[in-house]
Amino acid sequence: MTENERDGEDIYGEAHKEANEPIFSGIPSFLKLPEVDRDALDEEDVDVGILGAPLDTATTIRPGTRYGPRAVRAASTVPSPPYEHFNIETGVDPFDHFSVADTGDATVSPGDTRGSQLNIEDAVAEISEQATPVVIGGDHSISYPDIKGWAEANGYEDIGLIHFDCHADTGDDGLTGFEYDHGAWVKRVYDEGIMAGENYTLIGPRGFWPGPDTYRDMRDAGMKWYTADDVAAMDLSEIVADAVRRATDGTDAVWISFDVDVMEPAYAPGTGEPEPGGLIPREAIYMVRECVKELDPEAFGFDVVEVSPAYDTSDTNSYNGGITSGLANRLIIEVLGSMALAAQGKESGEPITPKEPLGVPPEAESPADD
């Protein structure tokens, strides 16, 4: 059996087909996947390491994203089983290709924001030396240490960044004068010299921050953005193609960062800075899915941030996550699926489709349709 023909049973053993415990039982690791210490990923032959970064002391308005990793993990226990996630739309199951493990959370001290960020950087670096990192935030300040740890561990000197967000996060000193807050992380990455403006694309900004001077600076640096109105008006595949083109032009690797406040808050209310007029789930899922398919899974990283479950709705009393944490969970699985396609050099999987073509066949049309 070739690598492309294997399935989850080859990776996860007999557990792949065993009955799973009820979703309300057991320890809710991500998708109830195996828990592996970060220093043992290579030994355990893990391809993708999930990391929680429960930091929210760099946020500026509504706190609570410290509970984001826990909420996304809880949401991920539905649906089960953990080792089978065949996507009916794309026809791919990432667990037929990758061994994925939950590596727990980075060490966070609520009284030491910068120290916590450095701990996150170290944790991501440790994962990145052995596997592809997927990080669950936490406020968006974690993306700077995520990217810095990932890049340094792999020796990346030039990276591309595709950024889904309501806000540019390119402020010199963030929103309140703290250079490491969640509104300044892109500028910190840029200042590191590992990302050129021409390799950065922002998708989904809207509203009133940052102001015109910051956007002029972004324009002068060669950065590009597609507002939420642009997303609604344009062909999504054109936006994806341009973002991928820019991110991969002369770079060593690409990071995708997804802030859930890019979404219309009716679909993702559980976040610290909701802003009306955002993306709908189908737009977001499609663009993330299509971007990742075009990238090298061996030179890639992803984070999803700003899930704040205290403001979420739906199912909050049964500890299985709300609709925002459910969206974050779905995005991670979509990322894994597109990575699996990219690793096999495929544009699509093998979805199960009806025998009869979609739509009304000509012979079934009524005379009134003539």
DSSP 48: E
CATH fold of the domain at 10-344: Arginase; Chain A (3.40.800)
Q: pLDDT band at 2, cuts 50/70/90?
A: very low
Q: pLDDT band at 233, cuts 50/70/90?
A: very high
Q: In sequence order, what DSSP letters do the residues of 255-309 get, joined into one string?
A: EEEEEGGGB-TTT---SSS--SS-B-HHHHHHHHHHHHHTS-TTSEEEEEE---G
Q: pLDDT band at 5, cuts 50/70/90?
A: low
Q: pLDDT band at 366, cuts 50/70/90?
A: low
| pLDDT tens figures, 24-34 | 788 889 998 99
**Which amino acid, one-letter code, is at 94?**
P
H or E segment and range at residue 244 = helix 236-248
State yes or no: 140 annotated in a binding site. yes
State yes or no: 259 annotated in a binding site. yes
**Contact of 274 with 265, CB cutoff 8 Å:** yes
pLDDT at 20 > cutoff 80? no
Pick the closest to residue 137 from 123, 158, 155, 154 (CA basis).
123
Q: What is the mean pLDDT of residues 203-226?
A: 93
pLDDT at 36 > cutoff 60? yes
Strand order in the sheet with 224-226: 100-105, 48-53, 132-137, 300-305, 253-259, 159-164, 200-203, 224-226
Mean pLDDT of the chain: 91
Q: For residue 19, what pLDDT is reported?
A: 60
- 60-69, 192-201, 297-306, 316-325: which range is least confident on average? 316-325
Q: What is the mean pLDDT of residues 178-189?
A: 87
Instruction: List the domain boundaries for the chain.
Output: 10-344
Q: For residue 227, what pLDDT is reported?
A: 97
Q: pLDDT band at 1, cuts 50/70/90?
A: very low
Of the two residues 327 and 16, the one the predictor is more confident about is 327
State yes or no: 169 annotated in a binding site. yes
